[in-house]
Amino acid sequence: MKLVVVSAGLSVPSSTRLLADRLTTAVRGRTPVDVEVIELRELAVEIAQNLTNGFPGRRLAAALEAVTEADGLIAVTPVFSASYSGLFKSFFDVLDRDALAGKPVLIAATGGTARHSLVLDHALRPLFSYLKAVVVPTGVYAASEDWGAEGLPERIERAAGELAALLQGLSATARPTKGDDLTVVPFTEQLAALRPTG
């Protein structure tokens, strides 16, 4: 199975990339996946050009293809002005609107203060729901004070377990092809499928 990780961090080193790496490691600990990481800061110029001329450059085209062909996605953004970054949104704006249909997605964000944690439910979750992705119930937000504190490792592990469960369920069924009718599973049914039985 192929897992693609989209990181919208702008600095080097980046706390956004660090969170993406920890989530990836946690998923890999639960199910075998081939991982490809896409650093959006390296594609910023091509994303802007695609928005203005409608044509992706070579590296952007490869990144868009990787996301489209992935079995699952981890998407991590820094918080700017109480929402996802413009670079993050622009990347998903140039992605084909059906590319994420039925695809399991783990959402995560980083910020300077815990006050921005609602970005997960008020910005990221609606974006990926609009794109018809299957968003795992647990989103992960990491404020500056969360690094090295209790709580963050547990959230990472819980979210990774939920994504791994969806990926394992996907591998047990036939993958949808481009012409298939993709039915969106209600969120309550997604939750019920993740609850342990017995």
| pLDDT value of position 142 | 96
The H-assigned helical ranges of the chain are 15-28, 44-53, 58-69, 86-94, 119, 125-130, 152-171, 187-194
pLDDT digits (tens, 9 = 90+) for 142-187: 998 999 888 999 999 999 999 999 999 865 554 445 554 555 556 5
Upstream peptide bond of 78 is cis (omega within 30 degrees of 0)? no
Pairing of the two strands 34-39 and 2-7: parallel
Rounded Cα–Cα distance for residues 182 and 122 (Å): 25
Mean pLDDT of 63-67: 98
Is 32 in a helix, a strand, or coil?
coil
| pLDDT value of position 70 | 98
pLDDT at 67 over 90: yes
pLDDT digits (tens, 9 = 90+) for 91-145: 999 999 999 999 999 999 999 888 889 999 999 999 999 999 999 999 999 998 9
| pLDDT value of position 188 | 60
